[in-house]
Amino acid sequence: MSDADKAVTHELTVQRLAGEMFREAAWAALGTFVLGVVVSTVIWGTAGLFGSLIGGAIAIGSSLLTLLLMRKTAALDPMFVMVAALGGFMGKLIVLLLAVILLRNQSWLEPKALGITLVATVLVTSFLEARASKRSRSQMVVPASEGA
Judge whether 132 lies within some domain.
Answer: no
- Does some domain include residue 59? yes
Average pLDDT for residues 122-128, to the nearest whole number?
90
Indicate whether 133 belongs to any domain: no
Task: State which amino acid sits at residue 67.
Answer: L
Q: Which domain holds residue 80?
A: 3-125
Domain contains 30:
yes
- Per-residue pLDDT of 41-97, as tens digits, reads 999 999 999 999 999 999 999 888 888 888 888 888 888 888 887 888 888 888 888
Helix axes 10-44, 78-103, angle to 10 degrees: 10
DSSP 43-81: HHTHHHHHHHHHHHHHHHHHHHHHHHHHHHHTTS-HHHH
Mean pLDDT rounded to a whole number for the chain: 84
**Is 42 a domain residue?**
yes
Asked if residue 37 is part of any domain, the answer here is yes
Report the number of distinct structural domains present in the chain.
1
Residue 137 lies in a domain: no
* Helix, strand, coil percentages in the chain from 3-state DSSP, rounded to 5: 80, 0, 20
Question: Does some domain include residue 99?
Answer: yes
What is residue 66's predicted lDDT score, i.e. its pLDDT?
Answer: 84
| pTM to 2 decimal places | 0.80
